[in-house]
Chain A
Amino acid sequence: GEDVEQSLFLSVREGDSSVINCTYTDSSSTYLYWYKQEPGAGLQLLTYIFSNMDMKQDQRLTVLLNKKDKHLSLRIADTQTGDSAIYFCAVRTGGGNKLTFGTGTQLKVEL
């Protein structure tokens, strides 16, 4: 089955850019997502990218997809304290409905 990995922790200073990385194993993955989870809350969809795209930009968020290396990244420009949260990448494979989630990256933004 699909295996999705993320680094567990990232610390950045306010105003810097954050880059959160994700790797996956199934090359037939179709949609790849980034979700944000604040403490005690559900998941908020931030953005997603279809597998035939290399990049997607949405305001402060930039998603890069390297299909050859099965590597996905989320860049947050001008990171703010309100961006502190856990970020999950998730992968949808083939024609199925299931999402496989990564382990989550705890982003800490310091003043």
Chain B
Amino acid sequence: GAVVSQHPSRVICKSGTSVKIECRSLDFQATTMFWYRQFPKQSLMLMATSNEGSKATYEQGVEKDKFLINHASLTLSTLTVTSAHPEDSSFYICSARTAHGDTEAFFGQGTRLTVV
């Protein structure tokens, strides 16, 4: 199957700083990427849908100025958590769908963000 790589897998940052998380499709072109947030022992909550070359579509309740998403190429989307606070600590997971819009979405391995 197709491979999606997320980087970093773990990051610890200080309150008030910004953190960038990368999501790359390694062997396919992804016109659409998705960013999810997962709280401990809970399900995945979709934050935003990112389309290459256009602005991301954010889910209700997600602050777009705080969670900046850039999908500049068909293989890379980035999520920047700006002015991070301890309540932003979470597990962030991206997924990507191929340009064919097929049935499967392929997930990255996730990024554990801890804000101290």
A residues whose Cβ falls under 8 Å from a Cβ of B: 31, 33, 35, 40-45, 48, 50, 88, 92, 97-104
Closest approach, in angstroms, between the C-beta of A24 and any C-beta of chain B? 13
B5, closest chain A residue (CB): A42
- A31, A48, A97, A99 — which one has the most chain B CB atoms within 10 A of its CB? A97
Closest approach, in angstroms, between the C-beta of B93 and any C-beta of chain A? 5
- The residues of B that contact A35 with a CB separation of less than 8 Å are 107
In the complex the two chains form, what is the Cα distance from A42 to B110 in whole Å? 5
Q: Which 7 A-B pairs have the closest CB atoms?
A: A43-B107, A42-B109, A42-B107, A42-B110, A101-B44, A101-B43, A103-B43
> Is chain A's binding surface mostly helix, strand, loop or mixed?
strand
- The residues of B that contact A31 with a CB separation of less than 8 Å are 103
- The residues of A that contact B43 with a CB separation of less than 8 Å are 88, 101-104
B2, closest chain A residue (CB): A45
Closest approach, in angstroms, between the C-beta of A36 and any C-beta of chain B? 11
- A35, A44, A101 — which one has the most chain B CB atoms within 10 A of its CB? A101
B61 contacts A by Cβ under 8 Å: no
A30, closest chain B residue (CB): B103
* A45 adjacent to B6 (CB under 8 Å): no
- The residues of A that contact B42 with a CB separation of less than 8 Å are 103-104
- The residues of B that contact A50 with a CB separation of less than 8 Å are 103
Please name 18 pairs of A and B residues whose Cβ atoms are closer than 8 Å in the assembled complex, sorted by A.
Answer: A40-B110, A40-B112, A41-B109, A42-B6, A44-B107, A45-B106, A88-B43, A88-B44, A92-B103, A97-B34, A97-B97, A97-B101, A98-B49, A99-B46, A101-B43, A103-B42, A103-B43, A104-B42
Closest approach, in angstroms, between the C-beta of A21 and any C-beta of chain B? 15
Contact flag A42-B103 (CB < 8 Å), given A98-B49, A103-B43: no
* B105 adjacent to A99 (CB under 8 Å): yes
- The residues of A that contact B105 with a CB separation of less than 8 Å are 45, 99
* A45 adjacent to B112 (CB under 8 Å): no
In the complex the two chains form, what is the Cα distance from A88 to B105 in whole Å? 14
